[in-house]
Amino acid sequence: MVEVSAKNNINLDSLLEIIALTAEVGELKAQWTGDAAGVVIESHIEPYKGSVATMLVQKGVLRVQDALASGTCGGRVKMMTNEAGTSVKEAVPSTAVQVFGFDEPPQAGDQFQVYSDIVKAKEVIAQRQKEDTKRQVGFTGLSTESDQTMKLALILKTDAQGSIAAVKHMFSDVKDSKYVNLRWVMASVGVISDSDVQLASTCPEGQRAMILGFNTEIAPSAAKLAKDKGVTINNFKVIYELFETVVSALESDLEQEEKLIQRGFAVVKAVFKGVGGNVAGCEVVEGQLVSGERIKVFRDDREIAQGKLKTLRRFKDMVDDVDEGQECGFGIEGWDAWEPGDEARCFQVSLYAPQVVKR
């Protein structure tokens, strides 16, 4: 065990020494023979160069013109560059190189494997794509439990695999709740294409889909198709703008909610017959009662009724409020089955827009 901190540059040399010592003592050696294999570290698209993948060779020797597959992506190695940007013809085990030649960017973390020829590599890719299609997510799994819930499906296209993880991490605090049910239908590297728009246009009625782009481009045909189908495309250069745009769109579609602030409470001493129904004769125990505010009635610590406070009187005079320690009589709209001992709690009602995530 070595205690390290990359941030504070602590014990990094010691870590390298322990790794070298462990390899020497355990006689750990890379396999140089056979077809090359390893792992994809990162991938992105470069203008005029196409898909670029940064890969770590773990066994075998990777060479220019090798046919390889990683996940559902593949191609032939057209060019490789090392960490200095210098073109190289081969990469040995434990070497990281940038590889040009994939038909589309592979997923970060996926394993890659070299095959005897491009035909074999394409057969493997075709089989994986077939299996991938069977378990494609699409628009399933979106909650329909509440009309208040905003069912939002997101389709994300970025410049690099690392950007996908960064964008998704921004939304980690947007949890499923009575407000939001958010799903990532698709997240991949590349330009926003016609197929992305077609996917968004299949969003079921009552749910909402958005196409998000981060540091990528929108194909002209996709922009026209989105306009025809009424699909929203938002493309961003700054990740925080992407996050705020989506969250603001969610919150703007939610209805305002009530917030109750207790103003005071009173205890019913007697019940009187009034012109419009029974009236509660009360003593204000704490705070004050205010005409027009919300009254909740509790009996044996259980809420039994609520309504707007009306006809607030002190003696024979109509008043706007009654303070602590004073007696009064009042009724509430829609209910008058008062009993001595009932507790009437007065609340100030304010409206607020619910937040999807705490800022």
Helix (H, G, I), strand (E, B) or coil at 158: strand
Domain at 258-352: CATH architecture: Beta Barrel (2.40)
pLDDT tens digits, one per residue of 155-193? 999 988 888 888 988 887 776 556 567 778 888 888 898
The answer to whether 31-134 and 150-252 have equal CATH topology is: no
- CB of 150 closer than 8 Å to CB of 254: yes
pLDDT tens digits, one per residue of 298-318? 999 999 999 999 889 998 899
The candidate with the shortest Cα–Cα distance to 2, out of 42, 87, 12, is: 12
- CB of 151 closer than 8 Å to CB of 209: no
- CB of 346 closer than 8 Å to CB of 309: yes
Over pLDDT 90: what percentage of the chain? 51
Task: Flag whether pLDDT at 338 surpasses 50.
Answer: yes
- CB of 319 closer than 8 Å to CB of 312: yes
- CB of 288 closer than 8 Å to CB of 263: yes
pLDDT score at 151: 65
7, amino acid identity: K
Task: Flag whether pLDDT at 207 surpasses 80.
Answer: no
Helix (H, G, I), strand (E, B) or coil at 357: coil
Topology adopted by domain 31-134: Elongation Factor Tu (Ef-tu); domain 3 (2.40.30)
Taking the C-alpha atoms of residue 24 and residue 347, their distance in angstroms, rounded to an integer, is 75
DSSP code per residue over 74-99: EEEEEEEE-TTS-EESEE-TT-EEEE
- Integer-rounded Cα Rg, in Å, for the chain is 33
What does the block give as tokens for 126? 């075709």
CATH class assigned to 150-252: alpha beta
Task: Flag whether pLDDT at 253 surpasses 70.
Answer: no
154, amino acid identity: L
**At which residue do the structure tokens 């020797």 appear?**
61
Helix (H, G, I), strand (E, B) or coil at 263: strand
The domain locations on the chain are: 31-134, 150-252, 258-352
pLDDT score at 63: 95
Read off the pLDDT band of 119 (50, 70, 90): very high
